[in-house]
């Protein structure tokens, strides 16, 4: 199984890196997590064929995490896709996603392929492929906006994911609201934490150390101007922690035993 970072940038658009998105891939299944703006270019830049993606999981409805979805589906159609595409999201997000496609003039009946929208529920494990099981838990990322929803139609759902395959349990934080969200999956004893770094400081992340073996942390979703400070902070870690925290870059690929 391979985990490939498609984009590691924060919400700030970068000319060097794409918005955050990762691809989990084994020999016959590819699962893309999040589809931010320009995800089609991000995939092309890493030579990933649009129609090799079997499933998409959307963590939340911020532009840097989902606004590339209509463009990606359009590309799949233009490439004459015939395989079914599965789109997973929390049950409270499905209707908004469907409206987003409809409002982009993407009519499901007109597509060359079928889309299955699969509604997930908090704390209820779902299978994305034969090998990959996922649990989603709501984090506090969007809670601060709740007073602004004058139309009363948003759920403020932002999902953190536990990706479970073989002996690997990866906590993918998506976007978070604060430190306690980094511990959302602790009950599952994660072996790897992929932590966004846009809404939390390195000093807070460092409080997670020491980590139980073989737990590691990979930092992603950071802006270009944060790179020097993040690199310096990682280098200044005590020797025993130096390989515990890594900074992801677009294209970074990790291999896992299943
Ligand atoms: Zn966000």
Instruction: Quick: pLDDT tens for 33-88.
Output: 999 999 999 999 999 999 999 999 999 999 999 999 999 999 999 999 999 999 99
Cα 111 to averaged position of ligand 1 atoms, centre (Å)? 29
Reply yes or no on whether the pLDDT at 106 is more than 90. yes
- Ligand 1 centroid distance, CA of 206 (Å): 22
Is residue 227 predicted with pLDDT exceeding 80? yes
Nearest CA to 23 out of 35, 14, 12 is that of 35
Instruction: Output the CA 239–ligand 1 centroid distance in Å.
Output: 33
How much distance in Å is there from the Cα of 167 to the middle of ligand 1? 29
Q: Give percent of the chain with pLDDT exceeding 70.
A: 100
d(CA 15, ligand 1 centre) in Å: 20
Edge-to-edge strand list for the sheet holding 55-57: 115-120, 85-90, 55-57, 29-33, 21-26, 2-7, 253-255
Calculate mean pLDDT across residues 205-212: 88
Q: How far apart are CA 172 and CA 190, in angstroms?
A: 10
Strand partners of residue 138: 159
The CATH-assigned architecture of domain 2-249 is: 4-Layer Sandwich (3.60)
Structure tokens of 28? 């016959």
Distance 110 CA to ligand 1 centre (A): 31
d(CA 234, CA 133): 31
Evaluate whether 184 touches 139 at the Cβ level (below 8 Å).
yes
Which pLDDT value is given to residue 213? 73
Paired strand residues for 194: 172, 218
Confidence label for 257 from pLDDT (cuts 50, 70 and 90) = confident
* Three-state secondary structure call for residue 39: helix
Q: Check if the beta carbon of residue 4 is closer than 8 Å to that of residue 25.
A: yes
Residues 6+ apart with CB under 8 A from 20: 7, 8, 9, 10, 34, 36, 64, 65, 196, 220, 221
Average pLDDT, the chain: 95
| Pairing assessment for the beta strands 192-196 and 216-220 based on DSSP bridges | parallel
User: Which residues have C-beta under 5 Å from ligand 1, the single-atom ion?
Assistant: 62, 175
Mean pLDDT of 202-224: 90
pLDDT in tens, 130-157: 999 999 999 999 999 988 999 888 899 9
Residue tagged 């209707």 (tokens):
95
Q: How far apart are CA 139 and CA 131, in angstroms?
A: 25
Ligand 1 centroid from CA 141, angstroms: 7
Token reading at 235: 């280098």
Please name the residue ranges forming H helices in the chain.
Answer: 39-45, 63-66, 69-78, 94-103, 202-206, 227-235
Between the CA of 62 and the centroid of ligand 1 the distance, in Å, is 5
Instruction: Determine the distance separating the centroid of ligand 1 and the alpha carbon of 174, expressed in angstroms.
Output: 8
Up-side HSE of residue 37: CA atoms within 13 Å toward CB? 10
179-200 confidence digits (pLDDT tens): 999 999 999 999 999 999 999 9
- Say if residue 238's pLDDT is above 80: yes
Q: How large is the angle between the packed helices 69-78 and 94-103, nearest 10 degrees? A: 60
**Distance from residue 196's CA to the centre of ligand 1 (Å):** 10
In this prediction, residue 133 carries a pLDDT of 97
Query: pLDDT by residue (tens digit) across 1-44?
Result: 999 999 999 999 999 999 989 999 988 899 999 999 999 999 99
């Amino acid at each position: 199984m391979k985990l490939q970072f498609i984009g590691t940038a924060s919400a700030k658009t970068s000319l060097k890196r794409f918005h955050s998105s990762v691809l989990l891939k084994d020999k016959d299944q590819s699962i893309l997590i999040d589809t931010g703006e320009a995800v089609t270019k991000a995939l092309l830049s890493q030579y990933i064929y649009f129609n090799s993606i079997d499933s998409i999981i959307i963590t939340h409805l911020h532009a840097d995490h989902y606004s590339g979805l209509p463009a990606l589906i359009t590309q799949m159609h233009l490439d004459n896709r015939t395989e079914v595409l599965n789109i997973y999201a929390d049950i409270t997000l499905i209707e908004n996603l469907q409206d987003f496609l409809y409002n982009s003039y993407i009519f499901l009946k007109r597509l060359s392929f079928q889309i299955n929208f699969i509604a997930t529920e908090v704390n209820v494990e779902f299978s994305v492929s034969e090998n990959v099981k996922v649990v989603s838990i709501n984090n506090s990322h969007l809670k601060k906006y709740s007073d602004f929803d004058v139309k009363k139609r948003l759920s403020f759902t932002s999902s953190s994911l536990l990706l479970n395959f073989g002996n690997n349990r990866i906590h993918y934080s998506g976007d978070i609201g604060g430190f306690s969200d980094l511990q959302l999956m602790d009950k599952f004893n994660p072996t790897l934490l992929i932590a966004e770094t846009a809404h939390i400081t390195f000093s807070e992340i460092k409080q997670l150390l020491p980590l139980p073996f073989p737990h590691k942390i990979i930092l992603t979703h950071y802006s270009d101007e944060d790179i020097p400070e993040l690199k310096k902070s990682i280098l200044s870690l005590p020797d025993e922690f130096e390989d515990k925290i890594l900074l992801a870059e677009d294209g970074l690929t990790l291999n896992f035993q299943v």
